[in-house]
Amino acid sequence: MRPLWRSRLRRMAAGAAIVAGFCTLQVGSTGEGWFGAVDRWVYDARLRMLDPIPDDRVVIVDIDERSLAEQGRWPWPRTKMGELAKRIAGDGRAAVLGFDVVFAEPAREAGDDAAFAAAIAGRPVLLGYYFGNDSGGLRTGALPEPVLPLHALRPARPVTTWDGFGASLPLLQRVAAGAGFLNPLVDPDGVVRALPLVAAHGEQLYGSLAIGLLRSYLGDAALVVSGDAVSLRGARGTATLPVSEGMAGLVPFRGTKSAFRYVSASDVLTGRTDPAVFQGRIVLVGTSAPGLTDLRASPVKATFPGVEIHAQLISGALNGRVGQRPADAGVLAAVAMAVAGLVLAGSAPLLGPLGVLLIGGIGFGSLVAWSTIAFSNHALVLPLAAGLVMVVALTLFNLAAGYIGEGRSRRAVVALFGEYVSPELVEQLALDPLAHRIDASETRELTVLFADIRGFTAMAEKMEPQDLREYLNEFLTAMTEVIHAHRGTVDKYIGDAVMAFWGAPLEDPAHADHAVEAALAMQLEAQQLSRRFEARGLPPLVVGIGVNTGMVRVGEMGSKLRRAYTVIGDAVNLAARLQGLTKRYAAQVIVGEATVRRCVQERFGALDRVTVAGRSEPVAVFVPAASAEDAPTEPPARPGTIAMARQENESSRSRV
């Protein structure tokens, strides 16, 4: 397996581990902590964006500040509460009346309790009570009849359980049409988002005030409690409330404005309210006065009347828009996270920084869209925070891993190829280091060049070592600069010889033309060097160059102790043989037949067909036309070869 893919697979495996960790965390989440706080914030924000849906089937009689100012401080005499009940539910007006008030203590005035009992007797009036676990399960008043035995809950599900209660006086409870508990569920941030629909006390299940009012309104509806819903079926209709954790119903808050008609209790008592307002409706008596401590924090407002929370749940049940946080919400969220996370973990290692950001944004948006569709189309409230954090973590991980890995590759590329190619090409290679792996090799068509000083052995015998060193250094430096200027790669220095190639590590479709151009430029540079050497009393410089094109193996090669970026192959050997032929022919540059075929810009003349070492068949050799025109003045070893080199490029191509 190639190292690049090994690196990518390691990143994919690490990404998959991150996904698995977040999914496990989500499945085991209890909704508390930072993730739960973010999920609650998202849920609340969605509710605030919804428009209220007015519902005239529910009316709230409000014991507000004006009522307290006009009717006296709280608690009011039970006779006054009885008068309020008669004006609302008397003479067949309200379909059902529920008191978000607990009458747990006897009245201060004698006979008040009896008067209140007489006022509600025979009328559809439900009283409120509360459960609690404080004070060692303190119990006051009388509970209503339970709605079901606890063992009837099938399948068995966790249910809110209390051991104490504060209920209305037994006298009042006996004559009332029913009762329902008022307890909300308060989340860790102090906000009420749900009301228990049924709760356990002892071995019995009791219904909330909302459930009691709905049963009465629908015509003494039968109650069916299942694992995922509470259903009501009565003579006047049906209603289904999806069940969330703790057998609770999510209150369908919508926007910051009330959807219900509020009537001041004082207006009812003084006859300023038309009794038709209550005709056939569900009426709740509660308070919005701050001093009566029934204001709650809600998702839509910091202070929300507790009575309206019950009204919201009742209206939502009648309209079929009660949401649900299913028991397996964490599992559903984990499945969505796994899908989005594995796609991101599998694709990000294949992309650059912009691609990682793009696929991360797509993953983030997909999870948000999935959660939004589940909420708006199916009324499902599913966790989102852990998935979003997972996407951000995966994105940052891949950006960091890519940056570190790419930085390491870039440094390796610069360190290696800085010795072979020009700084300009090194910059291009560093832009995409993963595309130019230095620890791999490949087969590619390249053009190879060998350049060698003629008569160097004899020259070395006559020169001082220091002079010879400077002579050779100046020659190699000048030749390297020419090669770099023509986009070539210096392979190695072999004594007084230079080996270079074109077409790697960067692709170069014109590698043959560039190599021949470099060979001609090297000859011109050698002539200028020669004049400078002779002016200093040093031997003249004569260079022979061989150029050939073919398929070679290119890449980093060598032993475990030392490696180098180089090329190997028959085309390399032939290029070296062509350089050797420049000693046999009076030619500065000899080019192979494959190079002539690949060149577009240069013209060539046929030189000869020769047999070289390692080949049984003769090979055609050529000289660039420009090289033939600038040939040295000494006579060639074989007369007539330079004249042949002056043929036009078209003639040479016809021979090829």
User: What DSSP letter does each residue of 193-241 carry, written as one string?
Assistant: EEEESEEEETTEEEEBHHHHHHHHHTSS-EEEE-SSEEEEEETTEEEEE
Statement: residue 630 has pLDDT above 60: no
pLDDT tens, position by position, 516-538: 999 999 999 999 999 999 999 99
Same domain, 369 and 297: no
Rounded Cα–Cα distance for residues 221 and 212 (Å): 9
The dihedral of CA 169, 170, 172, 173: what is its sign? positive
Q: How many CB atoms lie within 10 A of CB 267?
A: 18
Look at residues 319, 346, 363 and tell me which one is the last residue of a structural domain. 319
Within-domain flag for 224: yes
Instruction: Calculate ∠ Cα 344-345-351, nearest 5°.
Output: 75
C-alpha 191: how far from its chain's center?
30
Same domain, 61 and 105: yes
Statement: residue 440 has pLDDT above 70: no
pLDDT tens, position by position, 364-375: 999 999 999 999
User: What DSSP letter does each residue of 131-198 carry, written as one string?
Assistant: EE--TTT-EES-----SEEGGG-SS-----B-SEEE---HHHHHHSSEEEE-PPEE-TTS-EEEEESE
CB-count burial class (<10 Å; 0-12, 13-18, 19+) for 56: exposed
Same domain, 125 and 220: yes
C-alpha 30: how far from its chain's center?
24
Mean pLDDT to the nearest integer, 69-89: 94
- Nearest CA to 541 among 452, 469, 466? 452
Q: How many CB atoms lie within 10 A of CB 586?
A: 18
Question: Distances from the Cα of 455 to the Cαs of 236, 242, 474, 527, 638, in angstroms?
Answer: 116, 98, 17, 16, 19
Statement: residue 638 has pLDDT above 60: no
List the CATH number of the domain containing 567: 3.30.70.1230
Same domain, 313 and 337: no
Sequence letter at residue 3: P
pLDDT tens, position by position, 542-585: 999 999 999 999 887 877 777 778 899 999 999 999 999 998 88
What is the predicted pLDDT for the residue at 441?
76
* Number of domains present in the structure of the chain: 3
pLDDT tens, position by position, 581-622: 998 888 899 999 999 999 999 899 999 999 888 777 899 999
Same domain, 88 and 218: yes
Rounded Cα–Cα distance for residues 159 and 223 (Å): 16
What is the predicted pLDDT for the residue at 328?
87
Residues β-bridged to residue 232: 223, 239
Same domain, 459 and 379: no
Rounded Cα–Cα distance for residues 336 and 390 (Å): 12
Within-domain flag for 294: yes
3-state secondary structure at position 589: strand
132 or 125, greater pLDDT: 125
C-alpha 241: how far from its chain's center?
35
Statement: residue 130 has pLDDT above 80: yes
496 or 156, greater pLDDT: 496
User: What DSSP letter does each residue of 473-518 carry, written as one string?
Assistant: HHHHHHHHHHHHHTT-EEEEEETTEEEEEES-SS--TTHHHHHHHH
Which distant-in-sequence residues (6+ apart) come within 8 Å of 480 by Cβ?
A: 490, 498
C-alpha 75: how far from its chain's center?
57
What is the predicted pLDDT for the residue at 642?
34
Mean pLDDT to the nearest integer, 162-187: 94
Same domain, 344 and 472: no
Statement: residue 338 has pLDDT above 80: yes
pLDDT tens, position by position, 239-254: 999 999 889 999 999 9
Within-domain flag for 427: no
What is the predicted pLDDT for the residue at 611?
87
User: What DSSP letter does each residue of 443-458 carry, written as one string?
Assistant: EEEEEEEEEEETTHHH
Look at residues 367, 395, 413 and tell me which one is the last residue of a structural domain. 413
Same domain, 171 and 307: yes
Same domain, 82 and 195: yes
What is the predicted pLDDT for the residue at 245?
87
Sequence letter at residue 159: V
What is the predicted pLDDT for the residue at 656?
35
Give, as one character, the DSSP assignment of residue 378: H
3-state secondary structure at position 127: strand
What is the predicted pLDDT for the residue at 632?
41
Statement: residue 182 has pLDDT above 90: yes
Q: Residue 405: pLDDT band by 50, 70, 90 thresholds? A: low
Rounded Cα–Cα distance for residues 550 and 652 (Å): 19
Mean pLDDT over each residue of the chain, to the nearest integer: 87
Which token pair is 46?
């969605």
Within-domain flag for 248: yes
pLDDT tens, position by position, 16-66: 999 999 999 998 887 778 888 999 999 999 999 999 889 999 999 999 999
Statement: residue 287 has pLDDT above 60: yes
pLDDT tens, position by position, 258-283: 889 999 999 999 999 999 999 999 99
Same domain, 135 and 197: yes
Question: For 2-41, what is the HEC assignment?
Answer: CHHHHHHHHHHHHHHHHHHHHHHHHHCCCCCHHHHHHHHH
Within-domain flag for 128: yes
Same domain, 295 and 355: no
Question: What is the DSSP pairing of strand 178-181 with strand 125-132?
Answer: parallel
Same domain, 348 and 407: yes
Q: Residue 223: pLDDT band by 50, 70, 90 thresholds? A: very high
- Residue 387 lies in domain: 3-35+332-413
What is the predicted pLDDT for the residue at 407?
54
Residue with tokens 């006296």: 72
Statement: residue 158 has pLDDT above 80: yes
Look at residues 371, 397, 413 and tell me which one is the last residue of a structural domain. 413
- Nearest CA to 179 among 133, 131, 225? 131
Look up the pTM and report it. Answer: 0.66
Where b means 16+ CB within 10 Å and e means fewer, 333-357 reads: bbebbbebbbebbbbbbeeeeeebe
Within-domain flag for 435: no
